Structure 1
Amino acid sequence: MIHSAHTETPLPAVRDSPQTPGMHESSLRRLQRRAIETLCAGVVVLTLLGPVRAEEPPAPDGEFSLPTAETPAVADPVTIDPFIQLRGAVWRTKAGIVFLKTPIGLLTLTSKTTLKDLKASQEVYFWVHERHSIVEIRKRADGSLVHRYLSGPMTSGTDTPRTLRWWGPDGDQTIHVGTQEERLTDYREGDPLTVEVDETNTISGVHDLQYDLQISQTPPAGSDVQLLLSGTVSKLKSNFVFVRTPIGLVMLNSKIGIPRVKVGQPLTLHIDHEHVTVSFPSTETPIPRRSASPTP
């Protein structure tokens, strides 16, 4: 058997063709530039195809927009004389006598028929409007009504029978006689009358009620006080000025801003919250001027 001899001719080794370093770096830069251009083109396409949204940037942490502050309505100046609006706390009580501390001084209520169950946990709201006055006694804890007294001239209701008409802080109010019609037979139209009413404005009793006011201090800032009171100086004693007014004799401490006065001098006191104003109405009679034209 003849075997053929197989001779493998080795192939020459293939070597990478040598390249210069400058050509290699140039190729890399071209590849990087193309990649960046392709990426930017894709971002532009996505931006153009994406939805358009108008959003405000979020506010920085700790900052927020303050609401526009509303200017409080300015209350109309008090022109009714006399007029008093006060709020007081029970200080001391006796049988038929209650001493109240108010922002301007001591208010004393007296009665022979009521005011026998007032407590230190109650507060009193007090109004005077010309010949009318109102005393409301409420629990300080929840504001519930304990007593409400109305004083003033008896005025019959015009629209509804067996009713009376009374002034109130929110306007004229209708008062129902209820079961007290017999007690009112001794009163005539215009007679001074004090009644107690319940939450339905129905009379529950007929009483006597007096009050005494001493103005000894300037009310603190923010006090809910309104007062307009005119009278005539009747007495001077130490630092006190006694003024006779339509609501009786009122004692004023000169330290609230009353200048030197004399007995018989008219005086008007106006208190608006913490502001105190004292004025002296002129009592001089104007002298008539003679006419320059000749008398015919």
Structure 2
Amino acid sequence: MEEEILKNALAGDINAFQTLFAGFQQQLKSYLYRLLTDRNDVDDLTHDTFIRAFDKLSTFNQDASLKTWVFKIATNLAYDHLRKQKRWPADAQDQGAKLAIGTPEISQSFRIVHQTSNAGAYEMREHIDFCFTCISKTLPIENQVALILKDMYDFQVREICLILDKTEGVVKHLLHDSRDTMTNIFDNRCALINKNGICDQCSQLNGIFNPKQNQQEERMKLELVKGSKKFDRSALFELRTMLVKAIDPLHSAGADLQDIIMRCTRTAIGDVNDFFDTQADKAGN
């Protein structure tokens, strides 16, 4: 059935291509959000990817799956967008927290989203996903792409080679380097797994948005916390990726809340000029 749909798409049937594209569109948008951290950019690039892919469909030689081929197009578009921006500092979340604390209007916007949005719940595991995205953006773009494709979306190394147009050896090096860098950052920052860690933002926010919840009980629900007592750094990183990959940052219970916190973080580091410069933010206030 899918082969017949692909045959029709290759013959120029845009509806057939739309059917195939829809099969992985949600995952594609989730992937782009982890790279871009902006919903509007995600929508724009998803649309551009669809148009570009359909226009170039005659060049699809089926050396890989259609999904891998489309992700390559999306990755190239995202790369063009991201290379204009600076890599994030490891303390981006600290800067975001400082901005929120010092700007009552921003803090209030968090509360409004939490109280009024259907996706405004606060769950600690979702903020750990947010944290993973922030830390991944400290990496060079190719490292970030390789890591997210492999550890978040289960692409094979050979598929990542096609997407990045790199050899297997290079991709494996990118993955090793990315995991090592992020493990070091988490090891020095995350108070959930290291009592000497300097960041406990996920627990602090849980205390703000879920004041009646027992903080220690919430912490102990996370395999990451349980594992911190018995696993080494590499195993803890794997636990973290397992937790994160189960979350869709665009459709989770707290997607709207985490998105507005992300915008605050981006504003704090200069990735966004003005926290309140879009209609979406103004409508939320």
**One fold, TM greater than 0.5?**
no
- Say which structure, 1 or 2, has more relative contact order (CA 8 Å, 6+ apart): 2
Q: Which has the higher helix share?
A: 2
Q: Shorter-normalised TM-score: what interval?
A: under 0.3
Q: Which has the higher strand share?
A: 1
* Higher-Rg member (1/2): 1
TM-score by length of 2: 0.22
